[in-house]
Amino acid sequence: MEMNVRGNKSKKTTGGYFACMFFFLIVMAFGIFLSSAVKKGNENCTEKVDARVVDMNISYSTSSKKGRTEIYAPVYEFVFDGQKHIVASDVYSNVNAVDTGDEVLLYVDPDNVENIYCPEQNKNVEKIADIVKLIGGGLAALFAVLGIISFIRKILFGL
């Protein structure tokens, strides 16, 4: 009795391509979620103000690979509605997107001046989200094409 090993392999290959496609679609969806989370969290920040970085809050992150790492969140000083405010960002990073003394543009929530958004500070998160979306979408498209080609080969040539 002879077995069709080739046809069985093709079925597995086609399924594998589509499984990879769905995995990378999930990766792309995570990038979209990350990007929208940054924007949604700051949708109430509508008023532009000029601010100066006056300090850096330092916290520590611990991981098994890197050990203890310093992470930083800038503290901004700005004037809004004629009043001076000093507000610490709630976005920490191990890379300083801004330094003490830098002049930056902030967006402030007019109903709650403690809620701020600094495009300069968040550009790294937005770049990462864009890269994740691009890689996830590109690889999902690649595996979709490979899956379709594998499926067509199976139908036309019995491979």
Look at the pTM and tell me if it is higher than 0.85. no
Residues 73-118 have pLDDT tens digits of 899 999 999 999 999 988 877 777 788 999 999 999 999 999 898 8
pLDDT given at position 22: 87
Please provide the size of the chain in residues: 159
Tell me which residue of 10, 44, 31 sits closest to 112, measured CA to CA.
44
Angle in degrees, 0-180, between the axes of helices 119-157 and 5-40, rounded to the nearest 10: 160
- String of DSSP letters for 29-69: HHHHHHHHHHHHTTTT--EEEEEEEEEEEEEEEEETTTEEE
| pLDDT-derived band at 12, boundaries 50, 70, 90 | low
Query: Torsion angle, CA of 124/126/129/133, rounded to 10 degrees?
Result: -130
